[in-house]
């Protein structure tokens, strides 16, 4: 980071606000064991999450940037106040709030909704993006396909992530993607979708907190900032629609 800061006069080195994480930041007894899976799904559909809105709280893995648009998952680890912070901090980018009602524990987006290249996204079939939130993608000819089934029925020992880490891949460029080596079905699908697949053994690292996308972060990009969604529609996902009317 220091090297980039010294070499590039346009490089910005910043940090998000640190949340206080007091009792007011969370809903008391949200994780009561008596609450059924069905009730948790109802909560997700109603956007009723453990986090309150007293301060911006977000995880980077809930934020997916595609050119001039930020798609941010509203869930257990990111709230609406955080999205408002993003929109204020990046006024030239459009911020969209997305959610996936099929996920009873919506934490991070990179095992749910993964862009492979401009115009193509794989979506967890158990956590489909709601129809009204697909409008912006359909208006710009983006294809959303169901991700292949995981090769495993259970996560490895001591891993608290779901088997859908199979989707958690690392896209190097619009034609090249790194996929966990044992996820043969996901590799096969990527191949059929026209991607060059690089297998990488990483399953033994899953207990440490995630997959390929989780353990990487690009800090320096080449090229310009593209607008992949030039066709505007009535978009219920926009955090501040008045800015883009």
Give me the residue label for tokens 């991070």. Answer: 108
As a whole number of angstroms, the distance between CA 37 and CA 226 comes to: 41
User: 152-193 pLDDT, tens per residue?
Assistant: 999 999 998 999 999 999 999 999 999 999 999 999 999 999
Q: What is the pLDDT of residue 40?
A: 93
Active site residue 28: no
Q: Which domains are delineated in the chain?
A: 2-243 (3.75.10.10)
For the chain, the C-alpha Rg in angstroms (whole number) is: 18
User: 4-35 pLDDT, tens per residue?
Assistant: 999 999 888 888 889 999 999 999 999 988 89
Active site residue 191: no
As a whole number of angstroms, the distance between CA 219 and CA 110 comes to: 18
User: 25-65 pLDDT, tens per residue?
Assistant: 999 999 988 899 999 999 999 999 999 999 999 999 999 99
Active site residue 200: no
User: 73-115 pLDDT, tens per residue?
Assistant: 999 999 999 999 999 999 999 999 999 999 999 999 999 999 9
Q: Is the dihedral of CA 77, 83, 85, 90 positive or negative?
A: positive
- Stated pTM of the model: 0.93
Q: Which of 69, 74, 103, 108 is catalytic?
A: 108
């Amino acid at each position: 980071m220091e090297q980039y800061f010294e070499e590039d006069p346009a490089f910005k080195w910043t940090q998000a606000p640190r949340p206080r994480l007091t009792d007011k930041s969370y809903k008391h007894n949200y994780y009561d064991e008596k609450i059924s899976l069905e009730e948790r799904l109802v909560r997700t559909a109603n956007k009723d999450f453990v986090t309150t809105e007293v301060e911006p709280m977000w995880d980077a893995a809930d934020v997916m940037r595609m050119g001039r648009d930020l798609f941010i998952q509203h869930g257990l680890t990111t709230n609406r106040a955080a999205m408002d912070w993003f929109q204020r901090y990046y006024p030239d980018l459009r911020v969209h709030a997305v959610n996936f009602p099929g996920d009873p524990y919506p934490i991070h987006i990179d095992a749910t909704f993964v862009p492979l290249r401009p115009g193509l996204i794989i979506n967890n079939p158990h956590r489909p993006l709601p129809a009204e939130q697909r409008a912006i993608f359909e208006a710009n000819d983006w294809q959303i396909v169901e991700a292949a089934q995981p090769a495993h029925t259970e996560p490895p020992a001591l891993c608290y992530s779901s088997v859908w880490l199979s989707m958690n891949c690392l896209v190097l460029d619009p034609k090249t993607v790194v996929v966990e080596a044992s996820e043969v079905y996901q590799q096969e699908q990527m191949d059929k979708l026209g991607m060059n697949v690089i297998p990488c053994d990483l399953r033994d690292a899953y207990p440490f907190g995630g997959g390929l996308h989780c353990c990487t972060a690009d800090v320096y990009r080449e090229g310009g900032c593209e607008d992949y969604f030039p066709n505007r529609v009535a978009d219920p996902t926009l955090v501040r629609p008045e800015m883009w009317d």
